[in-house]
Structure 1
């Protein structure tokens, strides 16, 4: 039986356990540069025992940002600040990963605490706030009066964005990341292409499944050519749009098969977010069945993510073969030491180690508790 605290090897990289920190935008960068917030935020989760830590959605071009405060990888200037983060994560036993993306029609919006996030989005920026032109497969807004209409991408636009993904992958490697994830969900550029809800093109990038999947397949191929062979490549994918006539689980399985053939090692399975009319049954473990199906039918490693909070839930997911890895977001924000407490709850506290600075106080000193009791 696979255990949550068993290692997981993907290509030449081994995670110390099957617990990962899901990428969560922090909207705290200036000109795309990471800073102390990112070091402390992600570093705390490495000290807390996570096996994989995936840095937030990081824009491959300035106009690919969701907000002005997004993290970036469109310039070599971004490498050194990110390298500071990856060095710390590695020093404390976590594999550093990064998610790269392009917001498309969901870009040029306000940060959450300055404009609200109905259906997961803020309002579009005004000109005086630094707004920029957004691009998308089709000239159709995400929805509502708060969001600007994008310009439909030309063939040259498509080629430029695909090249930017490859260039960002090179920089991610230079910064010391050992896992790269392309953000193909949450209604951003890849999902805008593969979903019939957002893609109404009539050229070679729109229409049937193969045409709608073309942008994704080509971009993954370009990235895999420059991303080191020993390092795993992941793709975050929506399993469904939760909209009648939208992207389906059957199409998700087929795309996962194609991406596996292009060198994708891990499919990070989510759902929804391509359009505001989606009717999503939010709730505990609601996306796990999609992860299980893609893993089984496409023959590729998957993650489970979304409203997973208890150690017993995470353990059952990996033990029952529903996913190879569990990603946590809110649970990790509430408790950076979630892996420690999960190990205790599952009776395997000895499979977690602490940095020497903590171990010194947790074992053997007068008045301290035994090492296995982590609640001292």
Structure 2
């Protein structure tokens, strides 16, 4: 059996394979409530053989949305709208996860679907943003520096959202501490210029993330928890792989089960070269030096490449995004390409099953 199609257990949750769906924003919610689009979008990946499906960045407060069209989990109505989507994923044999997020200074921006860039004015439904310091992302409105009371409210919001997520049926939670959003903004010295207990040293800059992690584990005890890191800012003087290794150790000590290793997104002047698997070595380093489980992401777009990442010990799982959008049945195709005998081909699709593939269990 190819390693990509062996199960992986996180606490009490067993994922049927190691080919997972990355959280991908759809910018299609109404007042934070997921719509029929989200149901179809996510359930199709479960039919297509995915192991873990992580729903898109989901704001824990209204002000934490990337755009006015982002999903949220700050109300019970949002929770109730997520429940049938989660049930559809689980009925098809996949594990349902959700990424909890706050966009910080990168909030209140135009959805990419509008073709516009920058901050949304208040007259068009935008709002004032918050951040560790009053330092704007290039081309966006200047945020308000959070005071201690504001930080406390955000910690509480993450905890409340995690409770709602579990009530909706999600089996895995992910904290978004990457791509230049609020938790990442606190981690990086390029965006965090504070001089109190949340700024300065690495321990202080990691304080908010660790507080959120502890609050979420208290609110959702026993639920597997993933932390997504940008392992480097790709910018001089910024957050880097050494920092990621150290903070991953601290997070694991406080209950994080796996780390989703991406990179970049904090500053517009980042310098990086992309290509197939360009972030794999970052994941491998965190796995090796922090001695924690990780998944790799970043242009790992074919089954053989994904299998090689696992076989070489660079990661414990692989997340893909665009390849699942191109082919929502990527999991079934990858199993056929690697000769994996899986028993979760949908009965309705058996006529398309390649010769020799294993029939579903009765």
CA contact (8 A) 1:53 1:94 kept: yes
Q: Secondary structure at the match of 1:274?
A: coil
CA–CA distance in structure 1, aligned partners of residues 313 and 32 of structure 2: 38
1:204 corresponding residue in structure 2: 197
Farther-moved stretch of structure 1 (350-359 vs 321-330): 350-359
Q: Secondary structure at the match of 1:71?
A: coil
1:326 corresponding residue in structure 2: 318
TM-score normalised by structure 2 residue count: 0.96
Q: Is 1:126 matched up with 2:132?
A: no
Farther-moved stretch of structure 1 (173-182 vs 72-81): 72-81
Instruction: Give the Å deviation of 1:355.
Output: 2.2
Q: Is 1:254 matched up with 2:239?
A: no
Q: Secondary structure at the match of 2:3?
A: coil
Instruction: Give the Å deviation of 1:362.
Output: 5.0
CA–CA distance in structure 2, aligned partners of residues 325 and 99 of structure 1: 17
Alignment deviations for residues 162-207 of structure 1 (CA, whole Å, 9 cap, x no partner): 1000000000000000000011001000110000010000111000
CA–CA distance in structure 2, aligned partners of residues 29 and 191 of structure 1: 24
Q: Secondary structure at the match of 1:4?
A: helix
**Corresponding residue to 1:304 among 274, 296, 304:** 296
1:73 corresponding residue in structure 2: 73
Q: How does 1:10-49 map to 2 (within 5 A)?
A: 10-49=10-49
CA contact (8 A) 1:343 1:352 kept: no
Q: Secondary structure at the match of 2:251?
A: helix
RMSD (Å), alpha carbons? 1.5
Q: Is 1:140 matched up with 2:135?
A: yes
Q: Secondary structure at the match of 1:326?
A: strand
Q: Is 1:227 matched up with 2:220?
A: yes
2:100 corresponding residue in structure 1: 100
CA–CA distance in structure 2, aligned partners of residues 362 and 62 of structure 1: 44
Q: Secondary structure at the match of 2:206?
A: helix
**Corresponding residue to 2:348 among 353, 357, 360:** 357
Instruction: Give the Å deviation of 1:284.
Output: 1.0
**Corresponding residue to 1:241 among 233, 238, 248:** 233
CA–CA distance in structure 2, aligned partners of residues 93 and 213 of structure 1: 36
CA–CA distance in structure 2, aligned partners of residues 346 and 251 of structure 1: 36
Alignment deviations for residues 314-363 of structure 1 (CA, whole Å, 9 cap, x no partner): 00111111111100000100011111111111122x2252223333x457
CA contact (8 A) 2:343 2:358 kept: no
Instruction: Give the Å deviation of 1:372.
Output: 2.8
CA–CA distance in structure 1, aligned partners of residues 282 and 303 of structure 2: 20
Query: Structure 1 unaligned runs (5+)?
Result: 117-121, 364-368
Structure 1 ranges of 4+ moved more than 2 A: 355-359, 369-374
CA contact (8 A) 1:362 1:371 kept: no
Q: Is 1:274 matched up with 2:266?
A: yes
CA–CA distance in structure 2, aligned partners of residues 373 and 185 of structure 1: 39
